[in-house]
Structure 1
């Protein structure tokens, strides 16, 4: 009796081990016509499942129809912590999403030998801007499908309120200020501001700094300046001035994201600074929502650059099916797959051959140039010991919004940290 039980347990254990091995690194099976079918395990981004699911469902259907020898086992299991653990334990799936040069993570994965170089698999990168290719490149080798969409920050506005008070979308920064002045004089909060939330309160800063100080940000990013640049001082002081003039929500420090969004969609505030990723939130709540990037003093509309990782996927160096994994990544890098994603999700394209889903998305793409994102600059000059990102998030920005420091003082705080980081 004991031998039989032991034998059963041994069989179950072997079966389970074989199943786990197949799940971790893809598997082979025989198709109806006797051909071999490869199954690729793919991890999608768990945090954005609700946004991306329709797009990837269609993409995977089309890919498997065009590649009947490859089956996609697509799972929303990709969290940063999960991927980090899988890299360390050598248990990555065949393909998974990565964030490129947004963070140091991909470079660390490459250095640990976890990623498959894609240069020899024929990915066509001719459609992409230089920044997109750099996003997925480490030491001259491409490790991920380049980004084809962007995330950015801009102003959403209530068209009905603008029409009621004879206001138009501003063409220069001075006109933007005049719009805010008019709304304030009419008793309407110009800009709903979530001053309580660490991240959401940053969007106005990113928008304003790109509009007023993009060249200065680029100089810092290239190691050619610091935060004492007069343009940077002016940008931070503008945030303080807006707070002092009452352009933001009353008691701004106690307003969270949900409260700010509700004030905007209920018509209590005329504008809100938010990300392109929240476009559907406002479309579903406000029938007459409009969008614009804050223009600079010269009228140029600069979108703070943040390339989207929605379709940037890498392959494990240990996949048993590198050719098939690369074939899937090649498809994600194609215009065909990207157009499907744009149509299904309303993502904002950075490549001209991808058509936006609708007029609203066209407004999200109505910028003159992509600019340097303040957060990217802060990330690039930070170290493990001195994180300027955290200093800005948790100290500088809340103090600007609540009138506790000036623009000059804000730059002094960041410059002191910059000196320590060098």
Structure 2
């Protein structure tokens, strides 16, 4: 996925235009089940060359063949456009019939709690989605009455996986006689070697999600499953000045001081971060598997590979984003059918062969060695209970809090201690709202 932040005015204009267009066109019949609907309005934010974009386009093609009398109105949205405006969109009569949405307590969980998403529990059993998804991948599909993930009703269906890994330029590693690091200490020595040659090691997008994932990787290097369950699932109180988060914040700030992270990266967006790495301007990029298919397609001037964040047993990652059906959808039956198509072998195998992480593919059908290796790596992490979700999930609005906080660590306007205080406040306020 490529998460783009539009300016406030541009975002408002895009939203207003989208709502007006959808309101004029309608979404189908007034039949609540959508059985007689003649239009399916579908929103997602995957780039057309990404593995998910390729697979979902195939799913749309299959859907059209299966429903020749139905028009599919597909609209590509920006991640942040939906992230920031979802409540307003889904609480209007202009909601789409099906949409891709971010998973977690602060996003899908919040919308489910507000009654804006359709309960998919019966459909999950009817179509066998509950059999195709492992228990760890079902964590983000289910939410209880308080919007906390992991139990309760199905409010979304993930059909791919994702995790954060380290992309590296093999040609630059070879040029400076550097080896893939196996430990965090070895990783810092690799980055020291690049800095000594005048090369900034990490391509970082501080204006969006990538920088906070580096902070979380560092915190996870000191963490165990109990910490993740406490932080993400509220099983016990979290000490924001405890060893895990303190290490993450202080080490991140230290990486900036050492020149591993450029100070101007506080204003860099994820897209620009990825393009800079594709152009060979930085040897290393720490980000999600959603970039993988795009890099396979677009990186032509150097050899590259990946390795897991050195030394970590826990990694940011989870199921992929969710297909959700807004409660106000006018074509629910069609939406359920589209979800089921994305879970079928033809689409799942294409997803895997395009560089994605399918949840229900035939392993023998994945032909590309790199793609097969990535899928095996994800399955290994998932099988070892190594998916630690993402740092912005625990509280509504937490994504923006973390973006601003980590930007402060990059530009030096916040100390690690002040940063931890800043991110602790909304987290603890959310716990109070939940009565925990």
- Pick the aligned partner of 1:192 from 192, 195, 203: 203
The one-character-per-residue Cα deviations of 1:80-100 (angstroms, maximum 9, x if unpaired) are 388755643445555444445
Task: Give 1:160 shift.
Answer: 0.8
- Distance in 2 separating the partners of 1:143 and 1:162: 44
Which residue number corresponds to residue 389 of structure 2? 373
Match of 1:303 among 297, 309, 315: 315
Compare relative contact order (CA 8 Å, sep 6+) and give the higher one, 1 or 2: 2
One of 166, 169, 174 as aligned partner of 1:163: 174
What residue ranges of structure 1 are gaps of 5+ in the alignment? 1-18, 28-35
Distance 2:269 2:330 in 1: 44
Given the alignment, which residue of 393, 397, 400 partners 1:390? 400
Measured against aligned partners, the alpha-carbon deviations of 1:61-108 in whole angstroms (never above 9, x if no partner) come to 44555x4x6655322237538875564344555544444546445653
Q: Who is 2:44 aligned against?
A: 45
Alignment of 1:11-410 (within 5 A): 23-24=28-29, 39=38, 41-46=40-45, 48=47, 51=50, 52-63=52-63, 67=66, 71-77=69-75, 79=77, 80=82, 84=87, 87-90=90-93, 92=95, 94-101=97-104, 103-105=106-108, 108=111, 111-112=114-115, 115=118, 117-119=120-122, 122-124=126-128, 125-139=130-144, 140-144=152-156, 146-195=157-206, 197-213=207-223, 215=225, 216-221=227-232, 222-224=234-236, 225-249=238-262, 251-253=264-266, 260-261=273-274, 263-283=276-296, 284-285=298-299, 286-296=301-311, 300-309=312-321, 312-314=323-325, 319=330, 322=333, 325-343=335-353, 345-350=354-359, 353=362, 358-362=368-372, 364-365=374-375, 366-367=377-378, 368-369=380-381, 370-376=386-392, 379-380=393-394, 382=395, 387-394=397-404, 396-410=405-419
Instruction: Give 1:304 deviation, angstroms.
Output: 0.5
Q: Would the alpha carbon gap of residues 190 and 167 (structure 1) be closer, same or farther in structure 2, given more than 3 Å must change?
A: same
* Uncovered stretches (5+) of structure 2, i.e. residues with no partner: 1-23, 145-151
The equivalent of 1:7 in structure 2 is none
Q: Is the partner of 2:231 in helix, strand or coil?
A: helix
Greater CA drift, 313-322 or 284-293: 313-322
Larger fraction in strand: 1
> SS of 1:312's equivalent?
strand
Structure with greater Cα Rg: 1
Cα distance change of structure 1 residues 229 and 340 upon mapping to structure 2, 3 Å threshold: same
Distance 1:190 1:214, change over 3 A: farther
Relative to the length of structure 2, the TM-score reads 0.71
Post-superposition offset of 1:132: 2.7
Once residues 351 and 91 of structure 1 are traced to their aligned partners in structure 2, the CA distance between those partners, rounded to angstroms, is 32
Q: In the aligned structure 1, how far is the partner of 2:359 from the partner of 2:399? A: 26
Aligned-CA RMSD value? 3.8
Rounded to whole Å, the distance in 2 between the matches of 1:331 and 1:208 is 38
Deviates more, 1:212-221 or 1:348-357: 348-357
Query: What is the rounded CA distance, in whole Å, between the counterparts of 1:251 and 1:317 in structure 2?
Result: 43
